[in-house]
Structure 1
């Protein structure tokens, strides 16, 4: 299925302070990023892709167009998606992430605006965000291809031509020829090559021996 990039405008991050802002212990642990689509009509979101930068958990809310007389409402479509298995370690801190519509908690049709809520509970990282944000919608369907009739309706396998009446079966003839060849080899192997010697004794023929032959 093809996809098409949707032009979007990413607003500046808004930090939500965690802890006492009057002390050094206070630091932003949650960031909010709004994404708008001023140049496109409400669309069906297919995929969200970005590069993580030390964000541990991600939640996404979507504002969808409902009807002319009903104001659009914000709906949570992703809640606390884990980007770093351990917020205190480097694993997953700078990975590329793709989120698809089947992973969302609600239908992603008629999207007007997105709100990304980033959370990092670990005090080890000075900053966190998401980078290279890309939004995709489903592209146009490919036109159906037409095939020639001979491809759409293949000819069934041809059957072998029937034997002409009166001719022997070639398989039977082949079998009999092989049997004859085997018998010939057996006879040739059993035939002795020793020639019978002359019936002579000291250069003279013995009449008794000759009479037996």
Structure 2
């Protein structure tokens, strides 16, 4: 018996939008009654040829009437604030000087790597700019 059919979780499966989201399936979404269910089978369809791996992680099932336990999220993420009241994030954010220093170090590393890649020549069988005829494959 199929309880839920063709539920689209990602709005555009060829991009990452929605790929890391959490989803809750509720009783009212099901096409059948879930009382006395002893086993469930999930059939996943590959959302896009771009996604080589796709899985269900952290699956939790709760009995009727029992609410899911609250996750430990930072207060600024779990509590909505009215638009006219800006959120105060100063107590939970990292030191801006430290973040700035780390970003600058990463930028320097990327520049060093970019400079080395331009100078390195890629050629598996390249010897002094020539190829050995025996190493070539004919198709």
| Greater strand content | 1
Which has the higher Rg, Structure 1 or Structure 2? Answer: 1
| Greater helix content | 2
Q: Report 1 or 2 for greater relative contact order, CA contacts < 8 Å, sequence distance ≥ 6.
A: 1
